[in-house]
Structure 1
Amino acid sequence: MHILAKPSEEVLRVTRLDAGYGGIRVVRDANLSVNVGEVVGIVGRNGAGKTTFISAIAGLIPVQSGSISLSGVEMSSLRPNGRVAAGLAIVPSGGRLFKSLTVAENLSIGLRRTDPQKLDSVYALFPELMSLRQRYAGKLSGGERQMVAIGRALVLGPRLLLLDEPSEGLAPVVRLRLAEAIKLLRASGIGVLVAEQNVRFAELICQRWYAIDKGSIVGWDNSL
């Protein structure tokens, strides 16, 4: 099941996707779409298959069957770096920063020398990071780490941004700040797919959502 969108507006289309680990099917016959400049949620309880779904789209686990296309280009057979080159970026659960590197160094890892304005746009989105540029990532708060993780993905210039449990472990006031930043990404034309267990946070940022349970899309709402 999925919500239909005009092909010209789509940045991501997933069709009848099966994916899992070691031959075990976790995601089952899943369909989903994300449009340009749209924030879409995958909501479900812990263990429902959200992270597996996101990982399959990013190429971190193999696709057993089905199709994943980015702006009309089939990606199912591409390795993760090929998907990044095609315009996909992922912020995994917990951010996974290099703790021994500074904020500036973490942000610059994926930065192309010919496109430094991407870094300026990150500091515009998260001005809090300007004063933290020389602080080691291991010394940051949970909210600051999440900002850096999202910024590191944005300097890649993605068409599609995947966020896996971005609100996990954050204080309510920090969640509100993060929600504000994610909503601002709509104006940039980036499509955003968010896997979230926290339904209230999803309500703050998503224009529509898909509900997942036991690896299957079991419902949706297009009016969040």
Structure 2
Amino acid sequence: MAKTSDEVLAVMAMDAGYGHVKVIRDANLSVRAGEVVGLVGRNGAGKTTFINAVSGLVKASAGAVVVNGHDVAGMAAHKRVAAGLAIVPSGGRLFRSLTVEENLSIGVKGATASQLESVYALFPEMRAFRARYAGKLSGGERQMVAISRALLLQPRLLLLDEPSEGLAPIVVLRLAEVIKSLCLRGIGILLAEQNVKFTDLVCDRWYGIEKGDIAPVDAALGQGGGRVVRVAAAH
């Protein structure tokens, strides 16, 4: 995989898994600045393992993970944040006993008023429940907070794991709007999804993953009967 100057992520020949169990095999994937790239696969295909290997939550056993020009494959997860990476895990994983604003502040060790204002501008809806405990939020509200917390880190690369899971259709459309607006800021986004319709709505390119194997995938997944085919462009 050739690295270009606007690439915020280049994964090359990466293996990853748990102990002696290899889940991801010889994976190659790239994301450019201002681009949304989808990683599409069924439940259990290896999407979360791939996302976690890129973020450092799972150790890659082989290959390279280059974030903003730096090979971070040997770095701890918190050091990858300094390289410009942020992750929104499946379900958001907020601190349920803290308020929305406390969850936001703890993510950056004390967010400033101007930083908080930047995410409230992106999600004006959050102003109404900023003092509510995270455990009382709906799925859509939790996702807003989780994305906002990641954005306070000012990433160049944003990893989203199953962002549309469990959300009402109207919330999914709102999420799509936000993702597209983030691309206009130059943020590169990699999202792992089962929801093909949502992926088609927001992504510039797709990769398919099946049993840990990754390849570019046709935009109209149904045209290939769900098979992974080597067509890189999604639109």
Range of TM-score over shorter length: over 0.9
Deviations 1:140-196 (A, max 9, x none): 110000000000000011111100000001111111111111111011111110000
SS at match of 2:5: helix
The answer to whether residue 176 in structure 2 is matched with residue 179 in structure 1 is: yes
5 Å matches for 1:74-223?
74-111=71-108, 116-220=113-217, 221-223=232-234
Q: CA deviation at 1:64?
A: 0.5
Residue 211 of structure 1 deviates from its aligned partner by: 0.6
Counting matched residue pairs gives 221
Q: Partners of 2:104 and 2:139 in 1: how far apart?
A: 16
9, 19, 22: which one pairs with 1:22?
19
* TM-score under structure 2 length normalisation: 0.90
The root-mean-square deviation of aligned C-alpha atoms, in Å, is 1.4
Structure 2, unaligned stretches of length 5 or more? 218-231
Identity %: 63
Helix, strand or coil: the match of 1:181? helix
Q: Which runs of structure 1 show a deviation greater than 4 angstroms over 4 or more consecutive aligned residues?
A: 112-116
Letter in 1 for 2:17: G
Unaligned segments of structure 1, at least 5 residues? none
TM-score (norm 1): 0.95
The 1:23–1:179 alpha-carbon spacing in structure 2 relative to 1, beyond 3 Å, is same
CA distance in 1, matches of 2:82, 2:99: 25
Greater RCO structure (CA 8 Å; 6+ sep): 1
CA distance in 2, matches of 1:171, 1:93: 16
Which of 52, 56, 61 aligns to 1:55? It is: 52
- Matched AA of 1:150: I
